[in-house]
Chains A and B, each alone.
Chain A
């Protein structure tokens, strides 16, 4: 009969495979999009190739007491979907909203007195979508977390889940490696080299003169 240690080792190994296989597509997505963000490769140019469309619509005065409620009602009237980025009220009868989702950005300028809204819609290509997926979390530049779109909440949940999954992958790999006695020495050298090179950047650079 297998001991509890054997059972833990078995399930640790199985979960390492399962998490790894489930996370594969996400890991590739975030790795490659991270690489794109760190390099300005010409083939992945997206902003210069953007496509802008402007249109105007008749609107009803948006319902709600708070700016976010009014903005939400207005974008529903305009049949726009995405994460509301910023809301500006320059005058009592004006409402300006920025809405974004990977691949598309909207700038809405509503004249509430005239009951009209003009919308500038900017579409970017697949490379732009790819880059935006890496950073699309609903966290504002100020650090405020206001996820008003359901899909932003779902995507940020996946971001957390992928991170937690990767942490599990690391810990489970350490457990598996420690179980193989003849690979401990070389493995330890690899772990120490990793900690030294990474730790230097995390904690060591501050100590430099």
Chain B
């Protein structure tokens, strides 16, 4: 039977080990928040563009939309040796061309496909570790939902980002539980908890009311 003492020990150990596992994820989100909050921009150097000829254009490309279109576009990307999350697909009918920006953390590739000439120009830019952190912070995000998660690793990261939230909620709840047992810290802890909640609610109230 689970006694109070055993429950306390399990909670303490899970708080420790899950916290240690989560540490790098928390650092990724915390550092990227500061970068985002100060408008940090990557300084990437683009590699020389390369041209790939003889591209086979999937027949259904023009007929399908959303994720099915992204999957058709992936067939082109496979031919030019590019993989990653397709950000969006821009069609320029007048030029018979499609532009496909493809992202990985710390790397941006733009593939411009001439549908008539069946050639593609591929340009890759290394954007560095700071940009990788920002990319992961924003991924998968609320934009272009219809095609988001078209790359396996974006779907895995979505799972990890969700897991980070759930574990963070567990860590904070278990942290409060463990603190309650520390009698000497109760008064000051309670004051700080109250001040934290009040300042959070107070600032939100001021912002929303304007």
Contacts and interface: CB of A to CB of B under 8 A. Distances in A.
**B is bound to A:** yes
A145 interface: yes
Interface size band for B: 35 or more
A38 B41 CA distance: 23
A78 B162 CA distance: 42
A24 B105 contact: no
* 8 interchain residue pairs of minimum CB distance: A81-B210, A198-B24, A25-B200, A22-B196, A190-B20, A163-B30, A145-B39, A194-B21
5 contacts: A17-B182, A140-B39, A167-B27, A203-B129, A208-B83
A151 B34 contact: no
Given A191-B23, A203-B129, A155 B207 contact: yes
Interface of B: 13, 16-31, 33-34, 36-41, 81, 83, 104-107, 126, 129, 132-133, 136, 140-142, 145, 153, 157-158, 160-162, 164-165, 168-169, 172, 175-176, 179, 182, 185, 188-189, 192-193, 195-197, 199-201, 203-204, 206-208, 210
B141 A38 contact: yes
Contacts of A203: 105-106, 129, 132
A199 B133 CA distance: 10
Contact of B208 (A32, A34, A103): A103
Contacts of B40: 143
The SS class assigned to the B binding surface is helix
A198 B156 CA distance: 11
Contacts of B153: 201, 205
A143 B41 contact: yes
A127 B193 CA distance: 24
A49 to B, nearest CB: 16
A160 B32 CA distance: 10
B146 to A, nearest CB: 10
Nearest to A165: B30
A37 interface: yes
A144 interface: yes
Interface in A78-129: 80-82, 101-104, 129
A21 interface: yes
Given A17-B179, A202-B136, A163 B20 contact: no
B203 A151 contact: yes
